[in-house]
């Protein structure tokens, strides 16, 4: 576990900084191995957002505990909702503060107490609010496309006959799975929408092979987002990964339907 101490200097004999956001250095100590690393606070010279830069640095270094002189409520909240325990009101040298923390932890560190402390962190008002806010945002980001997909499904039912679909999906395992995977590869997006469209396809009489391959390719293969994936992860990785996911849709779709058939005691 990594413990960070906001300090005025770059070693354990330095004084703990009075304010977290403007500390010159962070000493990051691995509590198990004892390894010490020093990070300059990128926010110390910043005109604005010093605290946020410092938070980003600590999260990037996988810090789980922060020992500091003081810390603003906003920064404390950011750290705690990211699972960092914030201990303030510490003065003296970094070494003293670290030893004090270890003693406190040993004194109060029974399994039950630690679990209770974690539970109270999870159920804090800030955390509940943050979870509700995130959930709302995520739901809001899903709703428009989902609404559009539901509207499209309506159009499909109103204007497209099932026989048209059956000209492509003939009921044969191989071609159905292939065309299902092709359709899923071209389209992309939230898995939720693939369930809605997949459900509609099933209602229209398509085989479960085709629907399963469609849903698998929908999320794992992304021709639309391929340029973005190439830019982020490289051409070789992106092309291989998408090709492999496309091919993987076949055995997984076929195995899923066959296993289900065995479980149900009937033919696929």
Partner 1 sequence: MTERSQAARLSGSGRRIGRTWIFPAAVLGVYGMLYLMSPHKTGLALKACARVGLSLAVPLAFVVVVLFLLNLVVRPSHVSRLLGERAGAKAIALSVVAGILSVGPIYAWYPLLKDLKEHGAADGPMAVFLYNRAVKPFLLPVMIGYFGWPYVVVLTSLMILGSMVLGQGMQVLARKH
Q: Which of residues 198-257 bind partner 1 (CB under 8 A)?
A: 198-200, 202, 208, 212, 216, 219-220, 222, 225, 228-229, 231-234, 236-237, 240-241, 244-245, 248, 251-252, 255-256
* Contact status: 114 vs partner 1 (CB under 8 A): no
Q: Which window, 16-24, 81-89, 100-108, 162-170, contacts partner 1 (CB under 8 A)?
A: 81-89
72 close to 52: Cβ distance less than 8 angstroms: no
Q: Shortest Cβ distance from residue 24 to partner 1 (Å)?
A: 16
- Binding residue count for partner 1, defined by CB under 8 A: 77
* Contact status: 8 vs partner 1 (CB under 8 A): no
* Contact status: 140 vs partner 1 (CB under 8 A): yes
Q: Shortest Cβ distance from residue 71 to partner 1 (Å)?
A: 16
* Contact status: 115 vs partner 1 (CB under 8 A): no
Query: What character string, x for contact with partner 1 (CB under 8 A) and - otherwise, covers 55-74?
Result: xxx-xx-x------------
* Contact status: 186 vs partner 1 (CB under 8 A): no
Query: What character string, x for contact with partner 1 (CB under 8 A) and - otherwise, covers 141-170?
Result: x--xxxxx-xxxxxx-xxx-----------
Residues in the chain: 268
Phi, psi of 37, deg, nearest 5? -130, 155
* Contact status: 137 vs partner 1 (CB under 8 A): yes
d(CA 97, CA 102): 9
Q: Which of residues 29-48 bind partner 1 (CB under 8 A)?
A: 42
**Beta strands 63-67; 2-7: pairing state:** parallel
Nearer to partner 1, 49 or 109 (CB): 49
CA 3 from centroid of its chain's CA atoms: 23
Place of tokens 């008002």: 125
């Amino acid at each position: 576990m990594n413990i960070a101490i906001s300090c005025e200097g770059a070693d354990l004999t330095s004084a703990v900084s009075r304010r977290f956001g403007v500390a010159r250095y962070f000493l990051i100590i691995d509590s198990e191995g004892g390894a010490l690393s020093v990070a300059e606070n990128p926010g110390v010279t910043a005109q604005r957002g010093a605290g946020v830069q410092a938070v980003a640095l600590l999260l990037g270094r996988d810090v789980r505990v922060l020992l500091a002189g003081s810390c603003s409520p906003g920064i404390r909240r950011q750290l705690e909702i990211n699972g960092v325990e914030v201990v303030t009101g510490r003065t003296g040298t970094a070494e003293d503060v670290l030893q004090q923390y270890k003693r406190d932890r040993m004194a109060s560190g029974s399994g039950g107490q630690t679990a209770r402390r974690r539970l109270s962190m999870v159920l804090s008002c800030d955390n509940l609010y943050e979870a509700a806010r995130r959930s709302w945002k995520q739901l809001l980001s899903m709703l428009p496309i989902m609404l559009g997909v539901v509207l499209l499904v309506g159009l499909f039912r109103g204007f497209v006959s099932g026989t048209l679909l059956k000209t492509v999906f003939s009921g044969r395992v191989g071609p159905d799975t292939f065309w299902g995977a092709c359709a899923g590869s071209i389209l992309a997006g939230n898995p939720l929408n693939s369930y809605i469209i997949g459900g509609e396809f099933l209602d229209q009489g398509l085989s479960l092979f085709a629907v399963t391959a469609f849903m698998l390719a929908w999320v794992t293969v992304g021709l639309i987002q391929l340029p973005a994936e190439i830019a982020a992860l490289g051409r070789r990785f992106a092309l291989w990964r998408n090709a492999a996911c496309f091919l993987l849709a076949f055995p997984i779709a076929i195995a899923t339907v066959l296993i289900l058939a065995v479980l149900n005691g009937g033919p696929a």
